[in-house]
Amino acid sequence: MKIGVVGASGYAGGELLRLLSTHPEFEISAAMAASSAGTPITEIHPHLRHFSNQKFTAVDLALLNSLDLVFLALPHGESAKLISELTTPKIVDLGADFRLESGESWNNFYGGTHAGTWTYGLPEMPGQREKIMTATQIANPGCYATAISVGLMPLIPFITNQGLKEITVVAASGTTGAGRS
């Protein structure tokens, strides 16, 4: 399966390159990064030695539309701008653009126009694995949402049966997933 990563110079994009480069079913055909186009991949991600002869390229819609799967690892709000030009059969967005169901929630957290809702890519949630398997557009959950959701899942029966109304979670991160474009 031929794939591309847009936003490959950021932290999430670099991790995608690392993980997907050893996957037996994926061939990375594009590592795109607008602000880093022409820069050697190993200059930004020195740990990706198997990309030592490759450079980030500019976003190329014709190439993206020829691929089987595209991963978008762009800053919040940027994927929505690009999506209308993509005809790729399958797209996974790592940004927040398509995670939220409510336009009001989007506006409260991010501001601006809500781009819509895609299948939420957290297979551990009840019923989601089946939805993900047939989806063509997947909104990958963020790190906090994943950690909190998976961590609290064992409490669902207690929450339901005992009428628990509120849970407070305090979380901290040593790095940011927000990256370079």
Task: Say if 177 falls within a structural domain.
Answer: no
Task: Say if 179 falls within a structural domain.
Answer: no
- One digit per residue, the tens of pLDDT, for the chain of length 181 reads 999 999 999 999 999 999 999 999 999 999 999 999 999 999 999 999 989 999 999 999 999 999 999 999 999 889 999 999 999 899 999 999 999 999 999 889 888 889 999 999 999 998 999 999 999 999 999 888 999 999 999 988 878 788 777 889 998 877 665 554 4
**39: number of CA atoms within 13 Å, CB side?**
17
Q: Is 167 helix (H, G, I), strand (E, B) or coil?
A: coil
Task: Say if 173 falls within a structural domain.
Answer: no
Enclosing domain of residue 29: 2-162
Strand order from edge to edge, sheet including 119-120: 27-32, 2-6, 69-72, 90-93, 137-139, 119-120
Q: Is 70 helix (H, G, I), strand (E, B) or coil?
A: strand
Instruction: Say if residues 175 and 11 touch (Cβ distance below 8 Å).
Output: yes
Please give the structure tokens belonging to residue 32. Answer: 């795109």
| Residues annotated as catalytic (active site), given as ranges | 143
Instruction: Say if residues 34 and 1 touch (Cβ distance below 8 Å).
Output: no
The CB-based long-range contact list for 132-137 (8 Å cut-off, 24+ gap) reads: 135/90, 136/89, 136/90, 136/91, 137/90, 137/91, 137/93, 137/98
Task: Say if 170 falls within a structural domain.
Answer: no
CATH of the domain at 122: 3.40.50.720
Task: Say if 167 falls within a structural domain.
Answer: no
The structural domain count of the chain equals 1
**Distance of alpha carbon 109 from its chain centroid, rounded?**
18
Task: Say if 175 falls within a structural domain.
Answer: no
Phi-psi map region of 53: left, alpha, beta (phi>0 left; psi -120 to 50 alpha): alpha
Fill in the amino acid letter for 39: T
